[in-house]
A and B are shown apart, each in its own frame.
Chain A
């Protein structure tokens, strides 16, 4: 993949040197369907008005934190805009690797005049973070399992019920989300989950709950694994990002259904690397202002089932560009889907991540 990116980048540069005038702007994202939704919704309309900007796409978001740190140490920032999840944005901000932004100055106000800070609201989880989408980590299950005798999972706790719903499950190979679900299903109230998880006993309780299904779990580390495992019938139920399940169900027509219960909301958005020279900074700020306005965020939902991060974008969400189906019912933020949601506590995980990760890995290898 890296080689491919390098070749693409070089050939882009080679083509560039022919025309010579356009300024390069390197945007880093996750690749795949998500990146192409960004290209279609943001970059193509922007390029139509800005022929002097040449956008180069990179697919390194999953290693962005480490690469940005390395670039910063080398004193040569080659990226202009980076797409990261909120927890990475917080970390980059803590490390001084991302630029702090002023929402009202750097981002466009809503069409009705609501300021950007109010329009994004609570989703501005870090001073450096420019939210784009709300996605959720939730479960999908196969609807054709005979052993279930016609029953279908209704709550997240059915994942832990191997009697009624036998079969393998797939869960992410990290403590985040799994620990919360385990505690929820062990009878902890939603607003007490992090207080309980902070204690030794609470952590043991979560592990004990996970122990009950440990033998039935296949652990994934890439978002594409669960859809694949579901399609192959390797697992009967599994967690992944809701957009991946959307494409499995709607685009690939697999007998799989969504379980929206206790979906965990998370955010994805832009950060601008700290230390850009002024001309590049001005160019990228102009792009970001355009790419995160109300219409652009709503447009992105035409291509992928992630909810726009602006309150004002929600009413503008329309139909899928190719399939022609209404996208609103597939959004994690849709009222019907968001009956029971779980809010991921960024600050808490920033503190406990390393500690719990060590415990989780030790638990896994036992």
Chain B
């Protein structure tokens, strides 16, 4: 239609007809959308969102940089391939990070995370976390020996707290202490500039005891790590006392003069003593490699590779399983789909062509397994298929096989294929049946009347019309079988288990959800690709459920 013709057409009130039509259509669309909105929102919230969240875990890795912020910064300048451990500054940074993490009980989580990449890190973190609060004790003792004031919580508050906080804390302490929490601790600006490390660690200490233990900095002696930070600040900046005034200035100048004579504590040696791994470059390489907030580590793991300091490498031969399992899952699922088709097609054909009463009875037999528990069906197969089972006993009894030559039909791939075929058969039969029901018998009759044999009439006329049912049944059976894990676990032995068994293991047992998510994503991608291939070859329009 031409532009001018459109412009000529208007509604009664003079609006262009095109706009009025679009408006009416839009209203219809909105109404339709409103109708499906409950379902759409439900699906988005309960299905799509959790899946997206789960998939996101496969790359998420902020735990390292969040738990060890100082260490990660120090490690940036360290050459991972140098073959030597990083300098003392890194050990000091780790000392502070680990102290804070251990108080918040985050260090074991980080240890578990890094243990996925390098065996042994979990216990290194756990052991060190137990001892880290003593690392700075040498400094604490020396400061306290110098002046007992360093032992008093009030000294520290006086030195580091902002005047505003002191005031609001006093107000809070005078009131009903249980009603509200103590105001959260604030460092004063002088201290932040003159004693940067001490302020930072003390701040972390104050926040931690306030939040985790509901204690007050005015009553608790600081961590040993705070003394060690003070030692470092005063060594780096002996004139720090000048920024303060009064008693604080005197106290700090005394300390600044004394620190030069202090016996330094070898933090690195303490780490190595807690766990010898800290003296090896490999643990530092792992921390550095997994410092970024996003990682490809889980995906690499899921294809039997790993991220190392030297880049991506394949895992050692004896640890590669996932690619192999992906392959086996696809192969076995195809075998199961094909055997479902071979068994299901004749049954569906019978169902569609027998008189109603007989076919209804047959239909009940097909549906019966649906009403039986999956575990019961699987266990029944065990009884039937095992070496001392019903089938073997029968074969021995009729003399087909000898007692010594009983068939192994379970705890291997055969077991998986048989049990899964049985379970998935209805998913093949039902779409086939509903498609076959719609095929008019007239076509076959016409073909026969024109001289076709029974076979030709079936193969050239009937079968092509049933292909949409085959497509639907095959896709259903295949996708369902790819995700099964209970049945393979029970009857698959070692050669009949699927990738989903490993996913289940990582979800429920090893708690490596990142790897499980990566494996799941891979599986999802594999199914999508197969689906696209199927669309190319057969055409998705050819799939019918009835």
Query: Other than the known A69-B511, A219-B494, A354-B510, what 19 A-B pairs have Cβ atoms closer than 8 Å?
Result: A65-B509, A65-B511, A69-B513, A94-B109, A94-B111, A94-B122, A95-B511, A168-B387, A218-B493, A234-B387, A348-B123, A350-B126, A351-B120, A353-B510, A357-B505, A359-B319, A361-B321, A365-B325, A365-B494
For the complex, is A364 an interface residue (Cβ under 8 Å from B)?
A: yes
A232 to B320 Cα, complex, angstroms: 35
A195 to B324 Cα, complex, angstroms: 31
Give the B interface residue count (CB, 8 A).
41
Q: Is A95 within 8 A of B112, CB to CB?
A: yes
Give the A interface residue count (CB, 8 A).
35
For the complex, is B216 an interface residue (Cβ under 8 Å from A)?
A: no
Query: Which B residues fall within an 8 A CB radius of A?
Result: 105-106, 108-109, 111-112, 115-116, 119-123, 126, 318-321, 324-325, 328, 386-389, 411, 489-490, 493-495, 497, 502, 505, 507-513
Q: Is A365 within 8 A of B324, CB to CB?
A: yes
User: A348 CB to closest chain B CB, in angstroms?
Assistant: 8
User: B533 CB to closest chain A CB, in angstroms?
Assistant: 27
For the complex, is A66 an interface residue (Cβ under 8 Å from B)?
A: yes
Q: Is A218 within 8 A of B509, CB to CB?
A: no
Q: Is B494 within 8 A of A364, CB to CB?
A: yes
A218 to B494 Cα, complex, angstroms: 9
In the complex, residue of chain A having the shortest beta-carbon distance to the beta carbon of B386: A234
Q: Is A351 within 8 A of B318, CB to CB?
A: no
Q: Is A95 within 8 A of B109, CB to CB?
A: yes
A230 to B61 Cα, complex, angstroms: 47
Query: Of B106, B121, B123, which one neighbours A96 at CB under 8 angstroms?
Result: B106
A160 to B505 Cα, complex, angstroms: 28
A357 to B515 Cα, complex, angstroms: 14
A270 to B497 Cα, complex, angstroms: 32
Q: Is B388 within 8 A of A233, CB to CB?
A: yes
Please list the 7 inter-chain residue pairs (A to B) with the smallest Cβ-Cβ separation, ordered nearest first: A94-B108, A355-B119, A66-B508, A364-B494, A362-B321, A351-B123, A96-B105
Bits for A39-80, please: 1 = Cβ < 8 Å to B, else 0: 000000000000000000000001101100100000000000
Chain B residues whose C-beta falls within 8 Å of the C-beta of A357 in the assembled complex: 505, 510
Q: List 10 A-B contacts (CB under 8 A).
A: A62-B508, A93-B108, A96-B108, A219-B411, A348-B123, A352-B119, A352-B120, A354-B119, A357-B505, A365-B325
A348 to B106 Cα, complex, angstroms: 20
Q: Is A362 within 8 A of B508, CB to CB?
A: no
Q: Is A358 within 8 A of B494, CB to CB?
A: no
For the complex, is A319 an interface residue (Cβ under 8 Å from B)?
A: no
Q: Is B320 within 8 A of A362, CB to CB?
A: yes
Question: Which has the most chain B C-beta neighbours within 10 Å: A233, A347, A365?
Answer: A365
A95 to B125 Cα, complex, angstroms: 13
Chain A residues whose C-beta falls within 8 Å of the C-beta of B494 in the assembled complex: 173, 219, 364-365
Q: Is B123 within 8 A of A361, CB to CB?
A: no
In the complex, residue of chain B having the shortest beta-carbon distance to the beta carbon of A3: B373
